[in-house]
């Protein structure tokens, strides 16, 4: 005989109402029956039973799930999980939304604490009278202080604000910012920040995140955006990699190609030619033992000349952060070993 689902009350929830305090039991379901029923409810269709295809089209307008290969209608009358209202502008969506900001690792409390707005308006959008403004000012001040309860959270709040400032200055995407915040929190948990500046550890975390996300920045770029020097960032970065056992892939010349081409206003043709030249150089081992930024800069210079969209060595050097001598030395080696004829 199969085991019946058993629902056990764990504790009480007290809810205020106009009729008084209402007590409701919080129920915990145990047993195999409840688990199977929950699995049936969350099960989703991912494969066609007729042709075993996974190419399914979910038509939200008609409420149907249709196989794109054989045309079988797998399910109809699908419930729309979206909002019941429509919006025609982002402002309307913000006004009608019933949820707050999503969780983020860029805040020390992940954005789960309450924040009192500075606009001095109530829920209906009306301005608060001057009688209550001083009261709201005090409430706002103490609420902001209560969000940071100890020294660790204060350190984390300062470091994440510094990370966001540096990432904004370098124009880095959200994924890299979140990866840098995770790296810094790991350093805090491992107690690696003792005896080191917040700015240095934050800059090293950002440098590591850029390399992890294959959007590398040089130490000079990170140093210009931060308030610390290049040597301290490099020293802290090596210490973090060793202590946290981080697996950082080595930077490659092709990782710099999109950013350098964008800075030089070069199109996809030059970028594709640069990737082709890098593959040919890597086959002949011309990139080993040389700086990736210098190789990428010289490859882009050669590709721009071959495609008839030439950029000067000075322009390429300014965008790549290398010297013109480096570009000349690298491109001479490349054109000699790759048998490329350039009209300079």
DSSP letter for 264, please.
Answer: T
For residue 152, name the pLDDT band (cuts at 50, 70, 90): confident
Predicted model pTM: 0.66
What does the domain layout of the chain look like in residue ranges?
A: 1-43, 45-76, 151-244, 253-337
CATH class of the region 253-337:
mainly alpha
pLDDT in tens, 247-284: 888 888 888 898 899 888 888 898 898 999 889 888 88
Q: Which CATH number fits the domain 45-76, given the four candidates 2.40.110.10, 3.30.2290.10, 3.40.50.620, 2.20.25.10?
A: 2.20.25.10
- pLDDT, one tens digit per residue, over 175-232 is 999 999 999 999 999 988 888 889 999 999 999 999 998 888 888 889 989 888 889 9
pLDDT for the residue numbered 44: 65
pLDDT at 42: 34
Least confident of 17-21, 43-47, 143-147: 17-21
In the CATH hierarchy, which top-level class contains the domain 151-244?
Answer: mainly alpha
Q: What is the pLDDT of residue 32?
A: 47
Express each pLDDT in 54-88 by its tens digit: 888 888 778 888 998 888 888 888 877 777 677 78
User: What average pLDDT is seen over the chain?
Assistant: 81
User: If we measure between CA atoms, which residue out of 35, 43, 41 comes closest to residue 2?
Assistant: 35
- Check for a shared fold between 45-76 and 151-244: no
- Residues 79-124 have pLDDT tens digits of 777 776 777 877 777 667 666 677 888 888 787 777 777 777 777 7
310: Cα within 13 Å, side-chain hemisphere: 9
């Amino acid at each position: 005989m199969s085991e019946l689902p058993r629902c056990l009350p764990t504790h009480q929830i007290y809810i205020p109402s106009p009729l008084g305090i209402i007590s409701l039991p919080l129920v915990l379901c145990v047993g195999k029956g409840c688990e199977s029923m929950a699995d049936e409810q969350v099960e989703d269709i991912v494969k066609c039973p007729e042709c075993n295809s996974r190419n399914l089209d979910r038509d939200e307008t008609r409420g149907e799930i249709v196989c794109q290969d054989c045309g079988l209608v797998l399910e109809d009358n699908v419930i729309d999980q979206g909002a019941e209202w429509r919006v025609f502008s982002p402002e309307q969506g913000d006004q009608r939304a019933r949820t707050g900001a999503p969780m983020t690792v860029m805040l020390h409390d992940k954005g789960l604490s309450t924040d009192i707005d500075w606009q001095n308006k109530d829920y209906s959008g009306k301005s608060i009278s001057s009688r209550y403004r001083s009261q709201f000012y005090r409430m706002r001040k103490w609420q902001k202080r209560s969000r940071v309860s100890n020294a660790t959270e204060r350190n984390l709040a300062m470091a994440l604000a510094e990370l966001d400032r540096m990432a904004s200055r370098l124009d880095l995407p959200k994924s890299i910012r979140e990866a840098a915040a995770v790296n810094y929190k790991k350093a805090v948990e491992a107690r690696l920040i003792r005896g080191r500046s917040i700015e240095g550890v934050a800059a090293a975390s950002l440098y590591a995140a850029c390399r992890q996300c294959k959007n590398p920045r040089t130490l000079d770029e990170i140093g210009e955006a931060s308030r610390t020097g290049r040597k301290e960032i490099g020293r802290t970065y090596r210490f973090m990699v060793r202590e946290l056992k981080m697996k950082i892939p080595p930077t490659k010349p092709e990782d710099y190609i999109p950013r350098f081409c964008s800075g030089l206003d070069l199109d996809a043709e030059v970028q594709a030619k640069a990737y082709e030249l890098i593959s040919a150089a890597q086959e002949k081992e011309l990139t080993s033992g040389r700086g990736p930024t210098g190789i990428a800069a010289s490859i882009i210079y050669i590709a721009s000349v071959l495609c008839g969209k030439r950029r000067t060595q000075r322009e390429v050097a300014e965008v790549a952060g290398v010297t013109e001598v480096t570009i000349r030395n690298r491109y001479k080696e490349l054109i000699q070993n790759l048998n490329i004829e350039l009209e300079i």
